[in-house]
Structure 1
Amino acid sequence: MSLQDGSGKLVASSTSSSITTLDHIIQQTNFTPNFIKIDTDGFDFKVLRGARATISAFMPILYFEWSLSHLLEQGESPTSIFPMLRDLGYEKLVIFDNFGDLLCVLDSTDGLNLSLLMGYTNTSKQIHYYDVLAIHRASSFCLQEYLRIYASGA
């Protein structure tokens, strides 16, 4: 592991490590998640894919980092996870910049605007990644109420 700017990063080495999926952990513990936060510097899509059964069964709110440079380092297409999320019932995406400011709410099928946002991080001097809050269509989370409270500054 390499530490840089307050963040840890896995790097290639001769030491082996075991890796497991979130689905396996949930299955072993019988835990019922209602919120899953992922910040794994480029491995976020892999974690989400390894949690597919958990996400499908429990429909938790998902919060993950979306970084062009980290995803490309992992050989990931920057928008490849969104069709899977849509198939699993995640329709609304609340997008925050790397300062935690709410930027927009997009539909998970809005590939054009997702691509434009990701492309912007490639040229921006300030926005380096986004955080995405993905909400399942059956969630009791009230997005409109959240947006109202956020806008009021309360």
Structure 2
Amino acid sequence: MVQIFKHLLEVPRPAAVLDGVHALGGALYAHAFPSGHAATSGAMAGALWLAMRGRWAGLAGLLWALAAIGRVYTGAHWPLDVAVGFAIGWACAWAGTRLIPELKDPEATRRWMLWLAMAGGTALVAFHTPHPHTARAFAAAVGLGSLAAAWLGWRRR
């Protein structure tokens, strides 16, 4: 869904519009809106938040906030790109936890969210992306955080 909006709207990134933007890891110029990183981390944080609650939900929110700040700080996105990306991700997490019948059971929901956190965390850590090194390092950090949250959640079972 995010990629469809990116290509339909073709919103330029900060480096394409503003003089003097120092983009960390190399400038990106096109397809800013919405932020795919914010949508992905918003979906992950939303799913963990909705499934786990408590202090682990706060950790999920913190990880998302770091990802969001990172996208704006690196010059890759406008704040609105990140906010809308997050809203899309959160809506997907909400839909996933509310509309899939198997996830009506809290224990099943928790199990699914742990598996998704492990899969998403592994993907963020393991797969190469064409993004700048700083974004890859940040994705790896978020991925490791997701894996740690999944491991801690699994231990609580």
- Is the pair's TM-score, using the shorter chain for normalization, greater than 0.5? no
TM interval, shorter chain, is: under 0.3
Q: Which has the higher strand share?
A: 1
State the TM-score, normalizing by the size of structure 1. Answer: 0.26
Q: Which has the higher helix share?
A: 2
